[in-house]
Amino acid sequence: MVCYNQNELLRRKPAARQKKREIEVVVLDTKWVKIPAHNPDLQVLKTAGEIIQNGGLVAFPTETVYGLGGDALNPESAKKIYAAKGRPSDNPLIVHICKTEDMEKIVREVPAQAYVLAERFWPGPLTMIMKKADCVPAETTGGLDTVAVRLPDHPAALGFIREAGGFVAAPSANTSGRPSPTLGKYVYEDMNGRIEMILDSGEVGIGVESTIIDLTEDIPVILRPGHVTLEMLQEVLGEVCLDPTMLESDCQQAPKAPGMKYRHYAPRGELVIVSGDRAKVSEKIAELLEEKRGQGLKTGVIVSREEQQLYKADSIKVTGERTDMAAVARSLFRILREFDEEQIDCMYVQAFPQDGIGQAVMNRMLKAAGHKMIEV
Ligand code: AMP
Ligand code: MG
């Protein structure tokens, strides 16, 4: 394991970074560097930025989840990102910028709505889809003629993007299909040997990925729910719609965000959501836990603090107070990964109300559960 704090890294001489394991498989010596979210050492950011400018990959913290960064304007970097994640190359990447006016360099014509949204929500967890400029390679956009742009609300991320040249393509820093990483150690788990560096500033604040809004339609469409909610966007833009593929499992329409057709956030065991009247939900979850334990399976449950005494399970994960949806959002992906570490076979969780951040939480939970939901 290679783990440095930022001062140790600065004292080290540059090491040979690449060893060949087999003919095609390059194993990288991944540097895992702890940095503070605020005022990180400029030299560390410069080192990370140089890696990006030389065509390498660096994972970095944002306010939503950890991103896996490469030069957005270099097609070879995009290819490396897809390879490191094991991600299908038709699933486009989000381009991260560090100042609002930079969107003009990668977007063909910035719509007026984008300036209004940037003013209100940037820096922050909102990604806008617009027509791409020619300088953005097709590899970065999964072959689409649109580009996704975001300006994150995280000082270390902004400093790193600036040092990297201003345009960092970054999907979430997990192996494709696994829960997005909310801690540096999960990035290390998935990306060690595959990328040059991990910038680790501890647990992220929000825990679910950015809201994605498509501004290329007459009426803006939310392609992925996040911390910036439908209501917040409607307040600024007026009419806004939700992509029909967002919450339904049996929608026949092809998704506009190509990533939405792929299995996501999946724990290795089976996750089931139970929805309905609160008392009946508790009863059903208790019954299912008992049944599975009787079959010799390892069980897990996700509960609020008030409900932790209600269940008997091998692993009980507490998210926070019942009404604290931000805590559920922040802890969901970590809990799914912990269930994997504990080799849990069957996991249960109650459905949450789909207002505010609850919509993003339910969207991620439904995907993690492969849309398995029991109504009681
Ligand atoms: P991730 O980086 O893992 O959060 O994934 C990025 C998400 O943004 C994926 O679901 C992509 O499909 C979506 N996305 C990125 N660029 C575009 C685009 N040009 N049009 C629609 N969706 C996009
Ligand atoms: Mg992702």
Q: Which domain holds residue 22?
A: 2-200
- Domain contains 222: no
Could you give the percent of the chain with pLDDT greater than 90? 80
State residue 95 phi and psi, 5-degree precision: -90, 120
Q: Relative to the alpha carbon of 333, which ligand is closest? A: 2
| Residues within 6 Å of ligand 1 by CB | 91-92, 94, 129, 141, 144, 146-148, 171-172, 209, 212, 223, 256-260
Q: What is the pTM of this model?
A: 0.91
Query: Which residue's entry shows tokens 């400093």?
Result: 159
Q: Are residues 127 and 6 in the same domain?
A: yes
- Domain contains 209: no
Q: Are residues 314 and 177 in the same domain?
A: no
State residue 106 phi and psi, 5-degree precision: -115, 0
- Please identify, among 173, 200, 227, the residue that sits at the C-terminal boundary of a domain: 200
Q: What is the mean pLDDT of residues 119-147?
A: 97
- Domain contains 279: yes
Q: Are residues 186 and 75 in the same domain?
A: yes
**Closest CA to ligand 1's atom 20:** 257
Q: Are residues 32 and 177 in the same domain?
A: yes
- Please identify, among 156, 176, 200, the residue that sits at the C-terminal boundary of a domain: 200
Please give the tally of structural domains in the chain. 2
Q: Are residues 166 and 281 in the same domain?
A: no
Q: What is the mean pLDDT of residues 237-261?
A: 71
Confidence of residue 21 (pLDDT cuts 50, 70, 90): very low
CATH number at residue 66: 3.90.870.10
**Closest CA to ligand 1's atom 21:** 257
CATH number at residue 315: 3.40.50.11030
Q: Are residues 42 and 173 in the same domain?
A: yes
Residue among 229, 224, 186, 245 at smallest CA distance from 371: 245
More reliable by pLDDT, 356 or 211: 211
SS (H, E, C) 300-350: EEEECHHHCCCCCCCEEEECCCCCCHHHHHHHHHHHHHHHHHCCCCEEEEE
Q: Are residues 54 and 181 in the same domain?
A: yes
